[in-house]
Amino acid sequence: MWRLLRYDLPLHFVLWLTNWLPDNVIFINMRGRLASPFFKKCGRKIGIGRNVTFYNPSEIVIGDFVYIAYGCWFLGSGSLIIEDEVMFGPYVVISPGNHTKVNGSFRNGPAESKFVRIGAGSWIGAHVTIVVGAEVGKGCLIAANSVLNKKVEDDSLYGGVPAKFIKKI
């Protein structure tokens, strides 16, 4: 209950209240500034676009100079660590949690939570999905429409479903 009152509800209220404002530099930065107290840890100059959703923000760590574009969805179960200077394109989904199957159904299985880390200076393209246990190295580019489910080396370009190494950058 404490987590809900301290983190979840105030953050959802701030995002709901500012969602009608346009996505321009002033309002993106303002939305980030207003939302920053409701994460486990949040750095300076975070920018948040409209229609972004955070679940369990008390488990999300965000570094300095992070930009989160329109329509992203972040799950904080387990642990989500976003280092400095990371950019997210529109409609990115990050899920450090997963459902498990019990008695032939995923509905009542216990949740599996691990972590996801996004390294400093990385760029996550539009419509990317990052799932349980993925770790993006520093200075990486994850191509649009990719699904990442593994560890990515520093300074690399990955793309596809599932994401595969393309080249060093």
CB neighbourhood size of 151 (10 A) = 11
pLDDT above 80: residue 3? no
At residue 43 the predicted structure's pLDDT band, cuts being 50, 70 and 90, is very high
| pTM reported for the whole predicted model | 0.92
Which DSSP state fits 1?
-
Q: What percent of the chain has pLDDT above 90? A: 79
Q: How far apart are CA 52 and CA 139, in angstroms?
A: 24
So what's the pLDDT on residue 127?
98
- State residue 19's pLDDT score: 94
User: Would you state the pLDDT for residue 101?
Assistant: 86
